[in-house]
Amino acid sequence: VTALPAERLRVTYQLSCGPGEAPEARARDIAVEQTVELPLQCVPREIAARFVGQIEAIEPLGDGRWHVVIAYDPIVLDDAVPQLVNLLFGNISLKPPVLVTAIDWPPSLLARLGGPRWGIEGVRALVGGEAQRPLLCTALKPLGLSAVELAHLCYRFALGGIDIIKDDHNLANQATAPFRERVERCQEAIAKANRESGGSSRYFPNLGVGSPALAEHIAFVRTAGCRGVLLSPLILGLDAVHWIAATAELAILAHPSLSGVWFRPDHGIVPELLYGEIYRAVGCDGVIYTNVGGRFDFPEAACHAINANLRKPLGLLRPAFPVPGGGVDVQRVRHWIDRYGIDTILLIGGSLYAQGDLTAASRRLLDTVRAHCQERLVKEAGG
Amino acid sequence: VTALPAERLRVTYQLSCGPGEAPEARARDIAVEQTVELPLQCVPREIAARFVGQIEAIEPLGDGRWHVVIAYDPIVLDDAVPQLVNLLFGNISLKPPVLVTAIDWPPSLLARLGGPRWGIEGVRALVGGEAQRPLLCTALKPLGLSAVELAHLCYRFALGGIDIIKDDHNLANQATAPFRERVERCQEAIAKANRESGGSSRYFPNLGVGSPALAEHIAFVRTAGCRGVLLSPLILGLDAVHWIAATAELAILAHPSLSGVWFRPDHGIVPELLYGEIYRAVGCDGVIYTNVGGRFDFPEAACHAINANLRKPLGLLRPAFPVPGGGVDVQRVRHWIDRYGIDTILLIGGSLYAQGDLTAASRRLLDTVRAHCQERLVKEAGG
């Protein structure tokens, strides 16, 4: 009988060393800081051997940059997400710059995290099952409209065929459109639009409260008939996301609010890993990110890397939808379909609002998307 | 009858403008991005007037840096913390660098947030009420010890007179020392030590899980007899902290895990504001930060600013304890008392462990602290 190789959580870091600084010392410091947090002479030998991260690689990248791989025994983790976050970037967030660039996940950890409950296929099925095109998503805004006004927008977008109509992420429980009233009215509006159009649009309300009201809000949106929600993982906490994914049977669309604090070029977790693997592993079915060319500033290579990670094989996790937002409008929608492929949700806000008649604008967009995808299919068949 | 002046949440930012970039445009972009998130031509006029932030000041700081003040109507908020975080740094986290340097809190918002349940006076009372010295805190570590071993450390520290003995922040629910067993054994150990010594040490377990197990863990630690907890606000979520402070009657010691992602020199929220006002406003009774000269790198001016904010008058909020960690040992403890004053909790870990006999080391430290504070009192009386 051969023993199975022990599982390891391998984390890849990039770091810079000044003159006279040894990359080995920096790597050892990370391996200790993220685990036992004591000088090694104060740590019993058998604990140091098992609990301190093992340095597996230190390689120069040029210009004083180094590539470091540290392997952690999953025994340092428990079943919840907070300790995973501690391990990945807790204390080192406060130390000299270090960038987490890759994670090699132990299959048992992925299985425990569980990933998306719905995934790409499941979310498609929720909105009617059309397989050969990207889905379309828009946001109800601005903050300040009443629940009745937001529900009217919801109705008009749904009538035009937008698949997912989500709350803006800053619609919480403000007096102008209280959560419960908004959810009920928007859900009624979308049901009415679907009856009239024969469509399958869905309304995803924003979960903007933490524990314990969160559980009540989840029960409320389910009772109202919603099948998905928007939330901001870094504001509610990644563990809350994990719990919702595992228990609520709601599709989860992740908003990037606050996530920019992580994306320092030399310190943090690279976006394709935070959005593409960590958000996916804890259970997001779709991940909104700030598309290149929009009102935020994200390079196209990062967008492609996020897309690839969300869709790639990762243990037994379902793939999740990339949801580029910003810079997508009727004029450019064909371009983005060609760049990103059909397993994408295109988030389109301002450019629909700017057209005034939301139903007509939405329908025009959907027609363009369908026609372009049809054309691509014909080309592929011919090629 | 004169109308009361409307309450405003005023946020002060610092930002850089490149050549040809107008600070007015950057300020307007922030005011819109953090509220209505739509081009103003798509926003009804009465909503724009009330919901978009009002720019109150734009002043040059030299070198292309600008000081900007934007006032928000509290109507953009609800009763929970997540939307406050969205407003303060949600979407702008993803945009060009901007630093939040000050908040002018509306009294009604502070009242709603509530602040520390115990505060400096309350936490002092929890550990015996000695008023004329800083409190002493240490951490149970390393990860990997069994619950029995951790409880033994707890006993020895308590016997030496350490006031607060907390879990290390990465002690979660690992198989080596499961949460419930650890809490029970450490709490028994501390009770035994207090009986033997006549002391009033307290054990603060780490709350390392999110919703909904968090509520069970809180009930468990209360039943076990603990009066305070450690938690990492940025990992559990600030709203979870607020809920615990408002309902659990447990003193809250905040750990800085993960907070370093916020502290870019030109992008984020300055530490004296995040730790000193936001953590305090949501209910932390003590805030651990990485002291200058320790194994992390924080300038002394920032430490003083954090201390000042935690203790200053802020609405009706109770003051909270600064808890500098790192760089504090028996040799230097007098220095830090002179620098930071007695309304401080000194967090001392490695330098106690390094001495081997934890009880003797703790007692020596406490004796030094008491003697030095007595000396200071005598000097003051003489002066």
* Closest Cβ–Cβ partner in B50, B86, B168 for A257: B86
How many Å apart are CA A15 and CA A99, to the nearest integer?
Answer: 6
Choose among A217, A124, A116: nearest CA to A167: A217
Residue B283's pLDDT is what? 98
What is the Cα A258 distance to its own chain's centre? 12
ipTM value for the complex: 0.95
Nearest beta carbon to residue B144 from set A36, A175, A235: A36
**Spatial CB neighbours of B283, under 8 Å, sequence gap ≥ 6:** B113, B114, B115, B116, B117, B241, B242, B244, B245, B246, B252
CB-count exposure of residue B133 (10 Å: 0-12, 13-18, 19+): buried
The pLDDT of A53-79, averaged and rounded, is 96
B232 contacts in A (CB within 8 Å)?
Answer: 82, 86, 90
- Please give, rounded to a whole number of angstroms, the shortest distance from the CA of A103 to a CA of chain B: 18
d(CA A326, CA A351): 9
Whether B170 sits inside 8 A of A35 (CB atoms) is yes
Residues of B with CB below 8 A from A39's CB?
A: 350, 353-354
Going residue by residue through chain B (383 aa), what tens digit of pLDDT does each one get? 566 668 999 999 999 998 889 999 999 999 999 999 999 999 999 999 999 999 999 999 999 999 999 999 999 999 889 999 999 999 999 999 999 999 999 999 999 999 999 999 999 999 999 999 999 999 999 999 999 999 999 999 999 999 999 999 999 999 999 999 999 999 999 999 999 999 999 999 999 887 778 999 999 999 999 999 999 999 999 999 999 999 999 999 999 999 999 999 999 999 999 999 999 999 999 999 999 876 667 889 999 999 999 999 999 999 999 999 977 888 899 999 999 999 999 999 989 999 999 999 999 999 999 999 999 999 999 86
Which residue of B72, B173, B211 is the best one to mutate when testing the A interface, meaning the one whose CB has the most A CBs within 10 A?
B211
Q: How many CB atoms lie within 10 A of CB B39?
A: 13
CA triplet B184, B190, B191: central angle to 5 degrees?
Answer: 90
Q: Are B156 and B289 in contact (CB under 8 A)?
A: no
Q: List pLDDT tens digits, range A358-381.
A: 999 999 999 999 999 999 999 989
When pLDDT is averaged across residues A68-97 and rounded to a whole number, the result is 95
For B31-72, write each residue's pLDDT tens digit. 999 999 999 999 999 999 999 999 999 999 999 999 999 999
Q: Are B141 and A36 inside 8 Å of each other by CB?
A: yes
pLDDT band at A67 (very low <50, low <70, confident <90, very high): very high
Q: Are B260 and A92 a contacting pair at CB < 8 A?
A: yes
Question: What integer is the mean pLDDT of A54-59?
Answer: 98
Tell me the shortest Cα–Cα distance from A235 to chain B, in angstroms.
6
- pLDDT of A295 above 70: no
The number of beta carbons lying within 10 Å of the beta carbon of residue A319 is 19
Q: Please name the residues in contact with A83: beta carbons below 8 A apart, sequence gap of 6 or more.
A: A76, A77, B170, B172, B173, B174, B208
Q: Which residue of B has its CA nearest to A78?
A: B174
Check B83 against A290: CB less than 8 A apart.
no
Mean pLDDT of the region A205-225: 92
Is A2's pLDDT higher than 80?
A: no
Contact B93 A242 (CB under 8 A): no
With beta carbons under 8 A apart, name residues in chain A contacting B257.
Answer: 85-86, 90-91, 93
Chain A nearest CA to B269, separation (Å): 10
Would you state the pLDDT for residue A108? 93
User: Which residue from B minimizes the CA distance to A247?
Assistant: B212
In chain A, residues with a C-beta closer than 8 Å to the C-beta of B267 are 260-261, 264
Q: Which residues of A touch B80 (CB under 8 A)?
A: 172-173, 208-210, 213
Q: Is A261 in contact with B261 (Cβ distance < 8 A)?
A: yes
| Euclidean distance between CA atoms A252 and A254, whole angstroms | 6
- Kindly indicate the confidence band of residue A1, based on its pLDDT and cuts at 50, 70 and 90: low
Quick one: B210 exposed, middle or buried, by C-beta within 10 A (0-12, 13-18, 19+)? buried
Of B77, B94, B141, the CB nearest to A174: B77
Decide: residue B381, CB within 10 A, 0-12 exposed, 13-18 middle, 19+ buried.
exposed
Nearest-CB residue to A261 (from B176, B268, B350)? B268
pLDDT at B340: 97
Residue A18, pLDDT score: 86
Q: Do A170 and B37 touch (CB under 8 A)?
A: yes
Give the minimum alpha-carbon distance from B256 to chain A in angstroms, rounded to a whole number.
Answer: 8
B378: distance to nearest CA of chain A, Å? 37
CB contact under 8 A, A82 and B210: yes
How high is the pLDDT of residue B1? 53
Are A134 and A346 a contacting pair, CB within 8 Å? yes
| pLDDT tens digits, one per residue of A277-292 | 999 999 999 999 999 8
Q: Residue-wise over A10-28: b if at least 16 C-beta within 10 A, else e?
A: bbbbbbbbeeeeebeebbb
For residue B79, the chain A residues in CB contact (below 8 A) are: 173
Are A346 and A136 in contact, with CB atoms under 8 Å apart?
yes
Q: Which residues of A touch B170 (CB under 8 A)?
A: 34-35, 37, 76, 83, 86-87, 90
Query: Which stretches of B168-326 are assigned E, i.e. beta strand?
Result: 202-204, 228-231, 251-254, 263-264, 267-269, 286-290, 321-325
- Which residues in chain B have Cβ-Cβ distances shorter than 8 Å to A174? 75-78, 83
Size of interface A-B (CB pairs under 8 A): 295
Q: Do B80 and A213 touch (CB under 8 A)?
A: yes
